[in-house]
Amino acid sequence: MPLVCARSVLLLFATSVALVANLPPSCCAAHDITAILSGRRDIAEFSRELTATGLADDIDGRNTITVLAVDDARMAALKARGLSRETLRHVLSLHVLVDYYDDAKLHALPGGSADVSTLFQASGDAPGNAGMVEISDRRGGRVSFVPQDGGASAAVFYVKPVHQTPYNISVLQVSGVLSSPAAEAPASPEASSRIDAMDVMSKNGCGRFAGLVGSTAGAASAFDSHSHSTDGFTLFCPDDKAVEAFEPALKKLTADARLAVVLYHGVAGHFSLQGLRSHSHHHDYLKTLSSLDDKGNGTFDLMVLHDGDKATLMSETQNEARVTRTLADAYPVAVYMIDAVLVPFNSDEGSGRKDGGDGRQTSGAARGSAPWWPVRGWVASAALVFTLVAAFPSG
């Protein structure tokens, strides 16, 4: 009897562990700044620019953060200045403090003030202490924020809390845009000559895909980090017509599957058109940024085919996309337009279709609306439960 009882307890325990272990993995941090700001229409432009500059991903990737949000009227004045994307990113990164401050903490500063680092300082682009912000609790309970190199005239003031999750993320509305000579300084010649893949796509017929990159958590930051790497970066952007055709299938995808599709169009390493042709001659594969998990394990590949002076890409599911134009090619970044959306798995769950979502024929059985790899976890867990139970006698 004791053995039977122990066996039952072990079975329940092992089953519970298996179920918990196979819950959908979290692909994002504990907070989502875009979701937090979505309920505030008066700061919608601030939210959009956080996404467009890649700062939303940086914010979500940190456990402790404070965001100083600015309303649409102040953002309109900032955007009217026509700052470059990199400069705008620097300015907005001054509004992200790498520490937690809520309403109560602002009014209980030791000595009445505190110097706090921002994402501008953390990026390494800020000279000296230019990326630091001084918080001061002034007379009458007014709290000011002043960049170290901005001077007293650059002060903006705390208006009200927007969101507070101690001690994870706090969003505070402030009275204006933080001004800093260092943040607004023209980019270095090296940075200004670097290709901005998002701008290239937006201005050359890939605007829909650029929007998809910006709205998919984790995509913009992944592309941006690889475009700054020494190995370079190659991006294949489906034209607007191809993305529009794929949108019905896109809406069915989970967040993980959507990210996998977007990242499947990015390749680590700079490849000229001649380099792509060389890959096709040697039957080599391109390693994409799309992977089985958020640690980069089990990346999906693309095959390059060559027909005359044309290059064609073939996905894991054998749907094809032709390279139709070279939009930019200057080391370390190359951007090519393609005529179809590439997917590493079939995107129509239970439909019986065998195409990549745009009508192109593929091979292989349908794998559902999300990648097939989570099935592996269930099989492993079932095997674990069976092994543990079998280890005890039935007597």
The pLDDT value recorded for residue 84 is 80
- Residue 132 shares a structural domain with residue 157: yes
The pLDDT value recorded for residue 28 is 41
Question: 184, 211, 227: which is the final residue of a domain?
Answer: 184
- Supply the range of the domain harboring residue 278: 197-338
- Residue 154 shares a structural domain with residue 179: yes
What are the structure tokens assigned to 74, written together?
Answer: 């102040």
E strand segments, the chain: 65-69, 96-97, 113-117, 132-137, 143-147, 156-165, 169-174, 233-238, 266-268, 285-287, 301-307, 310-314, 320-330, 333-338
The pLDDT value recorded for residue 93 is 94
- Residue 94 shares a structural domain with residue 177: yes
The pLDDT value recorded for residue 25 is 40
Residue 346 belongs to some domain of the structure: no
Q: Which residues of 267-283 are buried (b: 16+ CB within 10 A; e: fewer)?
A: bbebbeeebbbebbeee
Question: 184, 217, 238: which is the final residue of a domain?
Answer: 184
Question: 144, 160, 184: which is the final residue of a domain?
Answer: 184
The pLDDT value recorded for residue 298 is 66
C-beta of residue 338 within 8 angstroms of C-beta of residue 325? no
* 333-338 vs 233-238, strand pairing mode: parallel
- Residue 138 shares a structural domain with residue 221: no
The pLDDT value recorded for residue 82 is 87
CA nearest neighbour of 72 among 40, 97, 33, 98: 40
Residue 207 belongs to some domain of the structure: yes
The pLDDT value recorded for residue 359 is 34
* Packing angle, helices 44-52 and 72-79, rounded to 10: 50
Single-letter amino acid code for the residue at 88:
L
Cα torsion through 185, 186, 187, 189, rounded to 10: -130
Please list the rounded mean pLDDT of every run of 10 residues in the chain (395 residues).
48 45 44 91 93 81 93 95 86 95 95 93 83 93 92 90 95 95 73 71 91 89 82 91 93 90 91 70 75 66 79 87 88 89 68 37 32 37 45 47
The pLDDT value recorded for residue 186 is 72
